[in-house]
Amino acid sequence: MTELHRLDATDQAALLRSGDVSAVELVQHHLDRIATYGERLGAFITVTADRALMQAGAADERRTAGGDIPPMLGVPTAIKDLNSTAGVPTTFGSVAMRDFVPQVNAYVVDMMEAAGLISLGKTNTPEFGLSSYTDNDLVGPARTPWDLSRNAGGSSGGAATSIAAGLIPFAQGTDGGGSIRIPASACGIFGFKPSRGRVSMGPTGSDVSGLAGNGPLSRSVRDAATMLDLIAHPMPGDLRPLPEPRVHFAQWITYEPKRLRIARWSATHLEGIDPQPDAMEAWERASRLLESLGHEIIDITNPFAAELEPQFNVIWSTGIATVPIPPEAEHQLRANTRYWRERGHRTSGEELMAAMQFVEATSRQAMIDLDSYDAFLTPTLAMPPQPVEWFNASGDPVEDHWRELQFTPYTALYNMSGQPAASLPLHWNDDGLPIGVMLAARSGDDGPLFSLCAQVEAAAPWAERRPPAFS
């Protein structure tokens, strides 16, 4: 039998259904890998081994008893440490929140548990998910398993490196400016940011800005589609709920896409920031692959305005300024967090409203301009995974922010527009580092985007390409 950690979640679920493996065996196998590799990778902030094994035993008893069996009963996963988990510490990657234990689950966690998934713990994230790299004062950086001297990307870096190294088969992440797609690119896996409103942020998460949402990270497109089917259910009271999809996303991946008109651009919307040769090579190769599949590739000018970046920062900083930190704990925050909170505290209500209106109007115009195309292709990142010390080597939060913009000038645009977007692991550079490419679609077209991603995966499979030290 193939080693359990080399199977995706879909195949693991099939083994559980057939009785070839028990949930206890499957969970223990992955816990053993976490014990062996987790600290080296900076993958987890909290590991809930006893809780997971107890749930696995209950899953085996439930399966033996028969009756209504959830579709993923006994399959291991993990929850990002930005999402509340009742009875389990949720630190938000911050020393100031080290002892916080929520009383309720995030709604997405409820949906995952209802499907039978078993969380092995809370994955590493930067403080309050603020950065495009994962590092904090609790457990330190998350590292890509392709080169442990380099960061896994952020803010879902712990989830991405866990999947790439075979500690879990798939996981949930959040994405407010690229936080699913960035680490997916840096770790050589698949990451999917759904359309705005597709997955609830309830009951305690905020959807006021519309920037952030939950989504899947996985090795296979089918696993991501399966997870989105499990969690894409509106919660009463959601501000921007999308209706239940008429066709399951797992069904969409079986459909052959029609001939699509795919617009592509590589120039960033930010002055002085250009993609490095590795990113360009990945983008060009992906373009040729899509053409070979029969799609029409059209070069266009980047449709997003440079003025979006400072307005995004107004919204971003105001959001972090509203996080309720006890005054006596402010000194425990990292310098970058204090910088963004101070910026947010200086923002007036009029400035925040103007920024939100500008982002909405400007991204809407971009969507109007792009409406004649079916999909959009750019690099995911402008450069390969970077050394763990590169982003904040200066200790200056302003320089840190500039370096993050150089690293990821593409992803946040789709958070502002609300479009679905995915990072696909189609390229590795000469140093063996993964370089993702990003495909996006019109808002609400998550299903057709899955169909296209599955077609690309079938034409250029990546499942067997694994980091040698963790295979």
Q: Clarify whether 80 is annotated catalytic.
A: yes
pLDDT at 424 over 70: yes
Catalytic residue among 84, 119, 156, 179: 179
Residue 416 Cα distances to 141, 348, 392, angstroms: 27, 20, 26
Where does the pLDDT of residue 468 fall: very low under 50, low under 70, confident under 90, or very high at 90 and above? Answer: very high
Assess whether pLDDT exceeds 80 at residue 390.
yes
Distance CA 23, CA 116 (A): 11
Catalytic residue among 22, 80, 132, 156: 80
* Cα separation, 470 vs 184, whole angstroms: 17
Summarised one tens digit per residue, pLDDT across range 317-338 is 999 999 999 889 999 999 999 9
Tokens of 461: 């499979």
Mean pLDDT across 273-301: 98
What is the distance between the alpha carbons of residues 163 and 38, in angstroms, rounded to a whole number? Answer: 11
Residue 236, CB half-sphere, CA atoms under 13 Å: how many?
0
Give me the domains of the chain, ranges plus CATH numbers: 4-470 (3.90.1300.10)
Q: Give residue 304's pLDDT.
A: 97
User: Which of 129, 97, 121 is CA-nearest to residue 206?
Assistant: 129
CA R_g for the chain: 21
Distance CA 221, CA 424 (A): 9
**Residue in 350, 267, 359 with CA at minimum distance from that of residue 307:** 359
Mean pLDDT of 164-187: 98
- pLDDT at 204 (0 to 100): 87
Average pLDDT of the chain to the nearest whole number? 97
**DSSP state letter for 269:** S
Over residues 349-371, the pLDDT tens digits come to: 999 999 999 999 999 999 999 99
Say how far apart CA 460 and CA 471 lie, in whole Å: 20
For residues 188-210, average pLDDT: 93
Residues in the chain, overall count:
471
Residue burial 309-333, b: 16+ Cβ < 10 Å; e: rest: bebbbbbbbbbbbebebeeeeeebb
Is residue 217 very low, low, confident or very high in pLDDT (cuts 50, 70, 90)?
A: very high
- 446-466 tens-digit pLDDT: 999 999 999 999 999 999 999
Catalytic residue among 84, 132, 155, 266: 155
- In percent, the amount of the chain with pLDDT more than 90 equals 97
pLDDT at residue 140 greater than cutoff 90? yes
Buried b (16+ CB within 10 A) or exposed e, 100-138: eebeebbbbbbbbbebbbbbbbbbbbbbbbbbbbbbbeb
Which pLDDT belongs to residue 206? 78
Give the pLDDT of residue 429. 98
pLDDT tier at 207, thresholds 50, 70, 90: confident
Band (29; pLDDT cuts 50, 70, 90): very high
- 152 versus 327: the higher-pLDDT residue is 152
- Has residue 30 got a pLDDT over 80? yes
pLDDT at 461: 98
Exposure of 139 in the CB half-sphere (CA atoms within 13 A): 25
Give the number of C-alpha atoms closer than 13 A to the C-alpha of residue 87, restricted to the C-beta side: 4
Tell me the pLDDT band of 1, cut-offs 50, 70 and 90. low
Helix (H, G, I), strand (E, B) or coil at 128: helix
